[in-house]
Amino acid sequence: MSKIIIKNEEELKGMRDAGRVAANIRMDLAKAIAPGVSTRELDAYARDLIDKAGARSAFINYPGPRGVPPYPGYTCISVNEEVVHGIPGDRCIALGDVVSIDVGVVYKGFIGDNAMSVPVGVTDLRVLELIEWSEKSLMNAIEQAVEGNRLSDISHAVESTVAPRGFGVVRDFVGHGVGRKMHEPPQIYNFGPPGRGPMLKEGMTLAIEPMVNLGTHQVEVLDDGWTVVTKDRLPSVHVEHSVAVRKGKAEILTLPD
């Protein structure tokens, strides 16, 4: 088990700047989601936004697991039954879809990583509830990212917010430490009992990312080696913030201007 990296104030400033860039691009990309637009077009738009911001995509060419080619997109765009790591392509957005966008950038040596799920027009009320409760679970989890708490207090906050509402918490994918590299220790599960794992310390920076399904929590990976979908093909939601552990109150790094 490698150690969680603590950032000093200078490094936290860098994380804040990278987080703001990632958040602004996330919001601009969200506004471009509309019926008839392909996920490839959205990704190309994100590429231009990232470029204009003087940043780089943290995702493109990211190494895949054994035998899987590197990640081919600038962002991840996951529609409906796609949970995370949706590869941008020919799929066109339709009315009633829920579109999860995941934007990770490298800016001046630091990573900002964030995601949100956007309903397109008139959407199933239960899907709107899924989005609302997933966002609530992220906020409750972030509230736990304070010095003196344990890592699994974050995990427990996610599960205890959404599970009682009948939603399925994805267990096969996790949040993570974030810093000069996109994936630093620790892994952050979105379920489990509170009060376990390493003690949280000021200066730890974490990407907290609940993935919550309308139906079963079970997922599978498509033949492309990347796209994660729900086993029952019911919709899924993904929300993510990069945050800094502080004394008393966590700091959200991926807030837009």
> Which parts of this chain interact with Co ion (CB under 5 A)?
113, 207
The minimum distance between CB 179 and ligand MF3, in angstroms, equals: 12
Interface with ligand MF3 (CB under 6 A), residue from 99, 106, 138, 207: 207
The minimum distance between CB 240 and ligand MF3, in angstroms, equals: 6
Site string for ligand MF3, 209-248 (x = CB under 6 A): -------------------------------x--------
φ/ψ of 185, rounded to 5, equals: -65, 150
**For residues 5 and 94, which CB has a smaller minimum distance to ligand MF3 in the complex?**
5
**119, 214 Cβ separation under 8 angstroms:** no
Q: Name which of 133, 152, 156, 144 is nearest 213 in CA terms.
A: 133
**For residues 78 and 149, which CB has a smaller minimum distance to ligand MF3 in the complex?**
78
- The interface partner of residue 82, options being Co ion, ligand MF3, none and the CB cut-off 5 to 8 Å by kind, is none
Is residue 43 part of the contact set for ligand MF3 (CB under 6 A)?
no
Tokens of 254: 């991926």
The minimum distance between CB 166 and ligand MF3, in angstroms, equals: 26
The minimum distance between CB 176 and Co ion, in angstroms, equals: 6
Interface with ligand MF3 (CB under 6 A), residue from 15, 21, 33, 59: 59
Q: Which 161-180 residues touch ligand MF3, going by CB under 6 A? A: 176
**For residues 22 and 127, which CB has a smaller minimum distance to ligand MF3 in the complex?**
22
Is residue 158 part of the contact set for ligand MF3 (CB under 6 A)?
no
Is residue 113 part of the contact set for ligand MF3 (CB under 6 A)?
yes
Pairwise CA distance, residues 256 & 26, whole Å: 8
Long-range contacts formed by 47-51: CB under 8 A, 24+ apart: 47/74, 49/25, 50/25, 50/74, 50/105
Cα–Cα separations (whole angstroms), residue 215 to 1, 130, 199, 226, 255: 33, 10, 33, 21, 30
- The interface partner of residue 76, options being ligand MF3, Co ion, none and the CB cut-off 5 to 8 Å by kind, is ligand MF3
**For residues 26 and 176, which CB has a smaller minimum distance to ligand MF3 in the complex?**
176
**For residues 12 and 77, which CB has a smaller minimum distance to ligand MF3 in the complex?**
77
Binding site residues, ligand MF3, CB under 6 A: 59, 62, 71, 76, 85, 102, 104, 113, 176, 207, 240
